[in-house]
Amino acid sequence: MAGKAEPEVEDFLAMLAAQRGAAANTLAAYRRDLVGAAGVLGALAGASRDDLTDLSAVWADLAPSSLARKASALRQFYGFLVDEGVRDDDPSSALPRPRARRSLPRLLGHGEVDALFQTAEEDARGRTPEGLRMLALLELLYGSGLRATELMSLPLAAVPRDAPFLTITGKGGVQRMVPVSTRAIRALGDWLAARGKGGRFVFPSPRGGHLSRVRLFQLLRDLALRAGLDPEKVSPHVLRHAFATHLLEGGADLRVLQTLLGHADIATTQIYTHVDAARLVALVNQRHPLAKS
């Protein structure tokens, strides 16, 4: 938890929470960056362009992604101060504008996904609660592209009765409808029948509440190992990436994909066009007649 912030920073964070619906983790990240900058400059609200230039020198050794995040927090803060009439000028033009290179997501091929499902389905044939739960988790991660937090905190009330959709509460408390395949509904129904009564979450923890993200991570790594895959390659987020990439390969529209993934900005979804383009280049290099010359 970051230290105490000056009043203007607290007002800015309150605005993010009230007007933009920023999640707790997002607010904590902004607080850390702003309090950290204040630790170098003193009070941020009265900082000058020269002060921010000096701050850029202090940040010189940061990775481009970290530098971009910190500079963005300050730009938004000073824009807020101008909007509120606290300042007449915006000194943030003195901040650096690094180009943080977005890395391509790690991918699972269709064969690797098939291996995971074959192992999970074999386990589920035993009708043990653990096997049925693992198959339901896998179906919803790869079949619906849910984030780990969304899946773990999924309430029973969100499970479809007649319509093949889940109501998901994503980042910033934004809700969206996510389609659920027939096979996923079947796997989910089998799990709920084996789950028993009690608790309000689809995937409850034995100690109360819901299954943790760490436990989900462990379960997937164990499944990958038994499926003959490198467990380092498999995680909830990698399965979400596979969902998106394989849909795009199948002809899904980018705007539809944005809605399914719950991305606020289409630019976040566009990373998958780069993944698809990279595969096309690899295909040309491997299959084109001139590649053999």
Query: How is the chain split into domains, by residue range?
Result: 7-94, 110-284
Q: Which span out of 63-77, 82-96, 111-125 was modeled with the highest average pLDDT?
A: 111-125
What is each CA distance from 240 to 154, 246, 251, in whole angstroms? 16, 10, 17
Inform me whether the pLDDT recorded for 276 exceeds 80. Answer: no
What's the mean pLDDT in 146-150? Answer: 84
Intra-chain end-to-end CA distance of the chain, in Å: 59
Residues with catalytic function = 147, 171, 237, 240, 263, 272
Which of 106-115, 198-207, 229-238, 274-283 is least confident? 274-283
Inform me whether the pLDDT recorded for 266 exceeds 50. Answer: yes
Inform me whether the pLDDT recorded for 173 exceeds 80. Answer: no
What pLDDT does 144 receive? 81
pLDDT band at 1 (very low <50, low <70, confident <90, very high): very low
Mean pLDDT, all residues of the chain: 81
Q: What is the pTM of this model?
A: 0.57
What pLDDT does 281 receive? 53
What's the mean pLDDT in 14-40? Answer: 85
Inform me whether the pLDDT recorded for 290 exceeds 70. Answer: no
Say if CB 145 and CB 139 are below 8 A apart: no
The Cα 128–Cα 204 span in angstroms is 16
The Cα 56–Cα 26 span in angstroms is 23
The Cα 7–Cα 229 span in angstroms is 52
Which CATH fold topology does 110-284 show? Answer: hpI Integrase; Chain A (1.10.443)
Inform me whether the pLDDT recorded for 99 exceeds 70. Answer: no
* 168 or 293, higher pLDDT: 168
175 DSSP assignment: E
What residues contact 143, with CB distance under 8 A and at least 6 apart? Answer: 180, 181, 183, 184, 243
38: how many CB neighbours lie within 10 A of its CB?
Answer: 19
284: how many CB neighbours lie within 10 A of its CB?
Answer: 11
The dotted CATH code for 7-94 is: 1.10.150.130
Inform me whether the pLDDT recorded for 51 exceeds 70. Answer: yes
